[in-house]
Amino acid sequence: MGANSAEIYDVVGVGFGPSNLAFAIALEESGGDASAGPLTSAFFERQPSFGWHRNMLLPSATMQVSFLKDLATLRNPVSRFGFVSFLHASGRLEQFINTQTFFPTREEFHQYLDWAQALFSGKVSYGSEVAGIQLPPESASATAQYLQVDVRDTVRGDIRTVAARNVVISTGLVPQVPDGVASDERVWHSSEFLERFQQVSPETLKKVAVVGAGQSGAEIARFLYDSLPQADIYAIIPSYGYSIADDTPFANRVFDSAAVDDYYFGTERSREAFWRYHKNTNYSVADDEVIRDLYQRVYMDELRGTNRLHILNMARVTNVKRMGNESRVFMESLLDGGSQDLDVNALVFATGYDSMDPSGVLGELDGYCLRDGAGRYQVGRDYRLVTTPDVSCGIYLQGGTEHTHGLTSSLLSNIAVRGGEIADSILRRRSADGPATSAPTTSA
């Protein structure tokens, strides 16, 4: 498979979620440089159309970040791609102001993202999965000017190869389930929740369990309780009760763009302190509103003697046995070590995500990326992977940089600024190296 000479880009984006969308906007607004003009770019997204955590667009779910931390505003407050521009274009600006909130519903934010991505239709290919990135064969010994990006059509299965001077990998979080658990039509990870739920007839769901005490677990327990009025809902949580996400003003400063410098240029000790003191701003915690909502349901159950929302606290799932449409969930009590089991018609693992791991798409190229003593990628402040001198192309990460750039790595808070920093880095390097002239010849 050879690179089509018509398909040579300054930048190829892998994935087209909010991170690469914010980066595409930053590129667009940078306008390139006077000597070499705008950068050429293409983005590849494996979903058939734009989608941001579609399976968690639960009706009452709200954003956990201010709408001002949209795709562009923090980098460019007068951007036409900001949330306020979207509201204006949708004819809802005044109505939104009347809601008096900084936190729109996730459904509305999805509409905003969808509106913004539509403005890039000429640059994005959907149904296009990046299957691998490699050095071109002839540059095994020379410094490679281009990378080959293999893109698989998710419908037809065929692969085309494009050449890129820079790649920006933004493939998102990786769903995590406990060891030994496999998802199927009755055992779901939260990332597949709505789609799976809609495939099952509600009357077959008499007992459903949700594992996990974070935001997704709490939201799904509430949704199931409200959507299945005849069902018993079991929330299996490892803690004594749900813990609140700290979104108070001083703690929230860990998501400011300046905190990235403090983290990046800090010491091992200061970085560890960021996590120790502020992990509870985002990880394994839930919003005050959903916690109070759930508690109110438990309380009203007790009042009415109905008791259908069961909080199984200090409990850890040890095994799951599938039996037709049922699952037997084995649990260990963290209180006394005792065991308990429960038969359910559906089981939802809201057990979180691992951070982005680029090694899959990098394949052999991963071997050219330098790692620190703990085996983690070395990453520049500009989010560029540090490589051996064999690779002069830029490989940038949006995600998977918690160890170098801190808590915002997988979040929306900093995407506008980060996208701008990556665009600036690419432009700076192009000015230093001169514009791309030709792609390497590759064998077919």
Ligand X SMILES: Cc1cc2nc3c(=O)[nH]c(=O)nc-3n(C[C@H](O)[C@H](O)[C@H](O)COP(=O)(O)OP(=O)(O)OC[C@H]3O[C@@H](n4cnc5c(N)ncnc54)[C@H](O)[C@@H]3O)c2cc1C
Residues that bind ligand X (CB under 6 A): 14-15, 17-20, 44-47, 52-53, 56, 63-65, 129-130, 170-173, 216, 361, 398-399, 410-413
For helices 415-433 and 18-30, what crossing angle results, to 10°?
A: 50
Which lies closer to ligand X via its Cβ, residue 103 or residue 330?
103
Residue 62 or 345: the one with the smaller Cβ distance to ligand X is 62
* In the complex, minimum distance from the CB of residue 181 to ligand X, in angstroms, rounded to a whole number: 18
d(CA 103, CA 113): 15
* The CA-based dihedral angle spanning residues 344, 345, 350, 356, taken in that order and rounded to the nearest 10 degrees: 130
Q: Which pair of tokens denotes residue 261? A: 């410098």
The nearest distance, CB 230 to ligand X, in angstroms, is 27
Q: Which is nearer to ligand X, 18 or 136 (CB)?
A: 18
Give me the DSSP letters along 135-167: --GGGSSSPBS-EEEEEEETTT--EEEEEEEEE
d(CA 127, CA 72): 26
CB-nearer residue toward ligand X: 70 or 232: 70
To ligand X, the closest distance from the beta carbon of 343 in angstroms equals: 28
Q: Least distance from C-beta 340 to ligand X, angstroms? A: 29
CA–CA distance, 71 with 53 (Å, rounded to integer): 16
Q: φ, ψ for residue 318 (rounded to 5)?
A: -105, -25
Nearer to ligand X, 285 or 412 (CB): 412
Pairing type for strands 232-236 and 309-312 reads parallel
At its nearest, how many Å lie between ligand X and the CB of residue 169? 9
Judged by beta carbon, residue 28 or residue 129, the one nearer ligand X is: 129
Q: Which is nearer to ligand X, 44 or 120 (CB)?
A: 44
Structure-derived torsion over alpha carbons of residues 282, 283, 288, 294, reported in degrees to the nearest 10: 150
Residues 6+ apart with CB under 8 A from 196: 55, 185, 188, 346
Minimal distance, residue 307 CB to ligand X, in Å: 29
Q: Where would I find the H helices in 186-333? A: 193-199, 215-227, 249-252, 257-264, 268-278, 288-304
Give φ, ψ of 163 to 5 degrees.
Answer: -105, 140
Q: In residues, how long is the chain?
A: 444
**Distance of closest approach, residue 162 Cβ to ligand X, in angstroms:** 13
Q: How far is the CB of 303 from ligand X (least distance, A)?
A: 32
Q: What is the smallest separation between the CB atom of 443 and ligand X, expressed in angstroms? A: 24
Q: Which is nearer to ligand X, 260 or 331 (CB)?
A: 260
Return the number of the residue (19 or 327) whose C-beta is nearest ligand X.
19
Question: Where is 129: in which H helix or E strand?
Answer: strand 128-134
Which region, left, alpha or beta, applies to residue 442 given φ > 0 means left and ψ of -120 to 50 means alpha?
beta
Q: Which is nearer to ligand X, 187 or 286 (CB)?
A: 286
Strand partners, 369: 387
Smallest separation (angstroms) from ligand X to the CB of 297: 21
Q: Which is nearer to ligand X, 253 or 321 (CB)?
A: 253
What backbone phi and psi angles, to 5 degrees, belong to 320?
A: -135, 130
Q: In what side-by-side order are the strands of the sheet with 315-323?
A: 315-323, 326-333, 339-344
The three-class DSSP label of residue 319 is: strand
CA atoms of 49 and 127, how far apart (whole Å): 7
CB of 390 to ligand X, least distance (A): 23
Among candidates 406, 234, 402, which has minimal Cα distance to 331?
Answer: 234
One-letter amino acid of 378: Q
